[in-house]
Amino acid sequence: MNGHERFDRRKALQWLEGDERMFVKLKDIFMRNIPSQVESLKAFLDAGDAGSTERAAHTIMGSSAMLGASAMSDEAGKMELSAIEGEMDSARLHFSRFFEEYEKVMEALSADGGNDECAGC
């Protein structure tokens, strides 16, 4: 993992067959789009909309996994499973944990300077 230990650049680069430029593009797209996706997810949870919660959590789970943000992805997966099971109180609990990880991942991605941490990737 990188120094911030919130996302694993090497894991992400494995998904991308070592394409650093693609990683930078995906990171930028992620950082631009994820805030509104998280906001929508929160609204679905607040409304008790299990189906929309499930779909939003699944999308976030996949995109965070591609960037190597394993803890964030895991919590999104737990939310998805809770929503599938109709356990919205459990989904809200996982959202709290997810949101903590989300904030840390966004901070780490913002601080990520590019290839400097990837020497030898």
Examine the pLDDT at 94 and tell me if it is beyond 60. yes
- The pLDDT confidence band at residue 12, using thresholds 50, 70 and 90, is confident
Q: Whose structure tokens read 């779909």?
A: 55
Examine the pLDDT at 113 and tell me if it is beyond 80. no
Most confident of 20-29, 61-70, 81-90: 81-90
The stretch 95-99 carries a mean pLDDT of 96
Phi, psi of 94 (to 5 degrees): -65, -30
In the chain, the amino acid numbered 15 is: W
Can you give the CATH number for the domain in which 54 is found?
Answer: 1.20.120.160
Is there a domain that residue 116 lies in? no
Give the pair of three-digit tokens for residue 2.
């990188």
pLDDT mean across residues, the chain: 88
Give the pair of three-digit tokens for residue 48.
């008790």
Which range of residues forms the domain containing residue 92?
Answer: 9-110
Tell me what pLDDT residue 47 has: 97
How many domains in the chain?
A: 1
Is there a domain that residue 29 lies in? yes
Q: What gap in Å lies between CA 2 and CA 62, rounded to an integer? A: 20
In the chain, the amino acid numbered 6 is: R
Angle of CA points 48, 43, 110, to nearest 5°: 135
CA 5 to chain centre: 14
Examine the pLDDT at 1 and tell me if it is beyond 70. no
Best CA proximity match to 72, nearest among 38, 45, 39: 38
Tens-place pLDDT, residues 26-75: 999 999 999 999 999 999 999 999 999 999 999 999 999 988 999 999 99
Is there a domain that residue 73 lies in? yes
